[in-house]
Chains A and B, each alone.
Chain A
């Protein structure tokens, strides 16, 4: 933890606030989205400064990358929608919201300076138990062993979110006003326009992304990395393929899609039930096989996360796949 504030930190904070300002008060939705992506990347660098590398990786992949892609898709649909107009709020309401936010900010800053001196009993406990946890990296040990229940529920949130995306996509058809009658029934599923630039980039990056994603999964046991980061990378590979192909190869309601989506959640469930049957507590790993258990769970979670990101992107496109 760095204990001096350097010029780099000041510059970073200033650009962060600047990017956030432009994202909120940009001149149109598209420029706001671009500045949001910039904000995400700067935020990732801020996380690096705070020594939270895992969070920085996740922020760069998901916060800047995937969210940016989804927002740009949304902005394009927004621009097509007739009669879309910005929401006008009264000056009085804005002023009072602004005043309240400033008050909250002042209170938060004051309390942040106050709590610098406290000591928590958790870090020494983590140090002591790291050996039995099956991972040499404290963040992975925390996420997948000590507080594995949290991670399980978070993967559940991802599952429910992907189900929600699919359900809304099926029930509320967002295809453009021309309708989907123009799609001929014999059109191939994945239509790659082979000379286009996106395909060239996808062709080069696809194997690299999968390789680095796999490496990230392996590194998670002793360095920053793990399921979310590698899942985000592999998910990005799929999204590149979708961008290059113009159509998605996913069949959203097939059993294969659904089983892969729920693979992470189910693996945690099986581990929890298995631990119970073996006579322990929920999600309790015997210290000898804890490492293997963590790797298995992370691998399953990676696949689920990658597919979830792909499903979200596929559902956000108006010319999406047939249900």
Chain B
């Protein structure tokens, strides 16, 4: 009973937030947003704590394949936790950002879009129906595009338009794939279609189309061209949402498709793995040479997404071994990487926003002496950097460790080498910023503006989560055991 209540709240309350922040007068908007955020976080927490096994929920009372079902398992709840954590921090940050006097009008536009984004992400992670996932992707895309344009800059409009065109092309390819798949399998529910036979050419056509579309939306190298522009120009809270959450949604769908629906794809997964390796190397190099911090963080996202795509060959090989613990380790490592990257990247963008708030620019050279002026920001950047490089104690370390050991265990030496090398490259751009931050401030720098405390607290909260993820991993791993495709206890 409470489980169903928590589940439905996770779905419904963000959309109530959309309606409320759209219609309520100015002075009621803040407490209402706070209330909605708290309710959703509580619901997600309740769901995570009470999850034992995967379960389904029929929306509208008609079950699949006639209606739409929700499939709640460990992966879904983990993504919900990520979304809740990042969205909660960003909402606190945005509250401070938009109350700072200068930008009253965009505040009215921010909140409905923010809750629309959150709601669409929650729905996407929960539904079991491929077409509903498409609609959620569309809702997510439109909210993101509108959020990017809140930057009030002609460049932002251009970047948002590029993002929109790319995302729509990707959505179209995905929809075409879903349509073909429906014609072939007779149902839209991925749990009912699996496992898809590996020798079915029509199904392969559908999978290729869907993968192509989702790669475009998920900014996998070499189709990442829209990401740096869009993520760098957007306001800081928006960039945090985009890099941490929006690019994870297509990856989530791909994970479901490649691991849980098409269980028999030996060679194709290596294509994705190769592209992922390219993303890591190319993205990291690009990040190191940037002169603006926001662009640096955006290219870092491109690089880190490459790690996620290394998951496909690793999990594919994992599915063939008999070692149950090893398989579950690989699965957990992949998901934990998505989670820790989300938190780390969001905190990096919030930090950048703090710096921009204080010094009005995100140029690297103007970071001189930042450690003295905004020490909390530099601290959080350091913690996020630790997670991205893969040093303990952070979630990133655990995730990379599991990925690395899985790669070595299954004999995938090239990928293991890329993972190690990527960590080294990440330290390049992380330490570049820290270098400038710890330089003694020169006397000529302009007086720094005051930064609202709630923004700093939001960033510190995410920093704490990064460290907690390195310490309390067993709790998250327990959640991930529910409904895992690699069950460890007497699988049927």
What's the nearest-Cβ distance from chain B to residue A201, in Å?
A: 33
Q: Which residue of A lies closest to B138 (CB)?
A: A157
From B18, B131, B136, B154, contact of A159 by CB (8 A): B18
State which of B105, B136, B149, B184 has its C-beta within 8 Å of the C-beta of A172.
B149
| B-side contacts of A161, CB under 8 Å | 142
Structural contact, A167 and B187, CB atoms closer than 8 A:
no
Question: Total A-B residue pairs with C-beta atoms closer than 8 Å?
Answer: 163
List which B167-225 residues lie within 8 A (CB) of chain A: 176, 180, 182-187, 201-202, 205-206, 208-209
A269 within 8 A of B: yes
Contact B139 A160 (CB under 8 A): yes
Question: Smallest distance from the beta carbon of A142 to chain B beta carbons, Å?
Answer: 9
Q: Which residues of A contact B182 (CB under 8 A)?
A: 120
B44-69 vs A, CB cutoff 8 Å, 1 = contact: the mask equals 00000000000001111110011110
Instruction: Please determine whether B18 and A156 come into contact, CB atoms closer than 8 angstroms.
Output: yes
Interface residues of B in 90-143 (CB under 8 A from A): 105-106, 108-109, 112-113, 116, 119-120, 123, 127, 131-132, 135-136, 138-139, 142-143
- B60 with A146: CB separation less than 8 A: yes
> Are B61 and A284 in contact, with the CB atoms below 8 A?
yes
The CA of A166 and the CA of B109, in the complex, are separated in Å by 9
The complex places the Cα of A163 from the Cα of B59 at a distance, in Å, of 27
A308 vs B187: C-alpha distance when bound (angstroms): 32
Interface bits A67-107 vs B (CB < 8 Å: 1, else 0):
00000000000000000000000000000000000001001
Residues of A within 8 A of B208 (CB): 107
A154 contact from B19, B66, B135, B186, Cβ within 8 A: B135
Stretch at the interface among A42-50, A177-185, A212-220, A275-283: A275-283
Residues of the A chain whose Cβ atoms lie less than 8 Å from the Cβ of B154: 172
The reply to whether A111 and B201 contact each other, CB–CB distance below 8 Å, is: yes
CB distance from A156 to the nearest CB of B (A): 6
A115 to B120, CA, bound (A): 32
A154 to B131, CA, bound (A): 11
B 1-27 to A, binary, CB cutoff 8 A, 1 in contact else 0:
000000010011001101100110000
List residues of chain B with CB within 8 A of the CB of A121.
65, 186-187
Mark interface residues in A10-42 (1 if CB within 8 Å of B CB, else 0): 000000000000000000000000000000000
Query: With A and B bound together, what is the CA distance between A160 and B127 in angstroms?
Result: 21
Write the chain A residue with the least CB distance to B131: A150
Q: Contacts of B149 on A, CB cut-off 8 Å?
A: 164, 167-168, 171-172
Please give, as numbers and ranges, the residues of chain B lying within 8 Å of A282 by CB-CB distance: 8, 11-12, 59-60
Interface residues of A in 171-217 (CB under 8 A from B): 171-172
Contact B186 A122 (CB under 8 A): yes
- Across the interface, do B180 and A262 meet the contact criterion of CB distance under 8 Å? no
Number of B interface residues, CB 8 Å?
Answer: 59
Q: Are B187 and A122 in contact (CB under 8 A)?
A: yes
Q: Which residues from chain B contact A108 at a C-beta distance below 8 Å?
A: 176, 180, 205
Cβ distance B165 to chain A, nearest Cβ, rounded Å: 12
Asked whether any CB of chain A lies closer than 8 Å to the CB of B146, the reply is yes
> Do A163 and B113 have beta carbons less than 8 Å apart?
yes
Asked if A288 lies at the interface with its beta carbon under 8 angstroms from chain B, I say: no
Q: Is the CB of A276 within 8 A of B139?
A: no
CA distance A126 to B187 in the complex (A): 13
CA–CA, A104 and B173, complex, Å = 10
Closest Cβ of chain A to B157, distance in Å, is: 6
Chain B CB within 10 Å — which of A110, A115, A255, A261 has the most?
A115
> Chain B interface mostly helix, strand, loop or mixed?
helix
Nearest-Cβ distance from residue A175 to partner chain B, whole angstroms = 15
Inter-chain CA distance A309–B131, complex, in Å, is 24
User: B472 interface residue, CB < 8 Å from A?
Assistant: no
Asked if A223 is at the interface (CB within 8 A of a chain B CB), the reply is no
Residue on A nearest B149 in the bound complex, by CB = A168
Bound-state Cα–Cα, A272 to B13, Å = 11
Main secondary structure, interface of A, reads: helix
Tell me if B65 and A265 are in contact (CB < 8 A). no
Closest Cβ of chain A to B246, distance in Å, is 14
B139 contacts A157, CB within 8 Å? yes
A120 adjacent to B186 (CB under 8 Å): yes
Q: Which residues of A contact B106 (CB under 8 A)?
A: 167, 171
Determine which of B22, B135, B183, B209 lies in contact with A115 in the assembled complex, contact meaning CB atoms within 8 Å. B183
Asked if A153 and B123 sit within 8 Å, CB to CB, the answer is yes
Q: Is the CB of B23 within 8 A of A164?
A: no
Complex: A147 Cα to B106 Cα, angstroms = 35
Chain A 263-299, CB within 8 Å of chain B: the 1/0 string?
0011001001100100011111100000000000000
B150 within 8 A of A: yes
Docked pose: A146 CA to B63 CA in angstroms = 9
| Distance between Cα atoms of A153 and B208 in the complex (Å) | 26
| Shortest distance between the CB of B173 and any CB in chain A (Å) | 9
Known: A146-B66, A149-B132. A281 touches B61 (CB 8 A): yes
CA A30 to CA B430, docked complex, whole Å: 50
* Contact between B60 and A283, CB atoms less than 8 A apart: yes
| With known contacts A125-B65, A148-B60, A163-B146, A111–B139 Cβ distance under 8 A | no
What's the Cα separation between A150 and B208 when bound, in Å? 24
CA distance A48 to B106 in the complex (A): 44
Q: Are B19 and A266 in contact (CB under 8 A)?
A: yes
In the assembled complex, which residues on chain B have CB atoms less than 8 Å from the CB atom of A148? 59-60
Distance A126 CA – B62 CA, assembled complex (angstroms): 11
- Residue ID in chain A nearest B117 by CB atoms: A160
B59 lies within 8 A of A149 (CB): yes
Which has the most chain B C-beta neighbours within 10 Å: A119, A157, A284?
Answer: A157
Cβ of B108: which chain A residues have Cβ within 8 Å of it?
A: 253
| Separation of A78 and B429 alpha carbons in the complex (Å) | 41
A160 & B184 in contact (Cβ 8 Å cutoff): no
The digit string for A216-243, where 1 denotes a CB below 8 A from any CB of B, is 0000000000000000000000000000
A114 at the interface (CB under 8 A from B): yes
A71 CB to nearest chain B CB (Å): 15
Q: Is B384 an interface residue (CB 8 A)?
A: no
B404 within 8 A of A: no
A281 nearest in chain B by CB position: B61
Chain B residues with CB under 8 Å of A111's CB are 180, 184, 201-202, 205-206
CA distance A170 to B106 in the complex (A): 9
- Please tell me if B227 contacts chain A, counting CB pairs below 8 Å: no
A2 at interface by CB-CB < 8 Å: no
A-B pairs, 10 with minimum CB distance: A120-B186, A164-B146, A284-B61, A115-B183, A167-B109, A111-B205, A111-B202, A153-B135, A125-B66, A283-B60
Seed contacts A112-B180, A163-B146; 14 additional CB < 8 Å A-B pairs: A115-B183, A118-B184, A121-B186, A122-B66, A122-B186, A146-B60, A149-B68, A150-B131, A160-B143, A164-B113, A172-B149, A253-B108, A261-B22, A262-B18
Q: Chain A residues in contact with chain B, CB under 8 A?
A: 104, 107-108, 110-112, 114-115, 118-122, 125-126, 129, 145-150, 153-154, 156-157, 159-161, 163-164, 166-168, 170-172, 253, 255, 258-259, 261-262, 265-266, 269, 272-273, 276, 280-285
Could you give 5 example pairs across A and B, Cβ below 8 Å? A114-B202, A129-B62, A161-B142, A164-B142, A262-B23
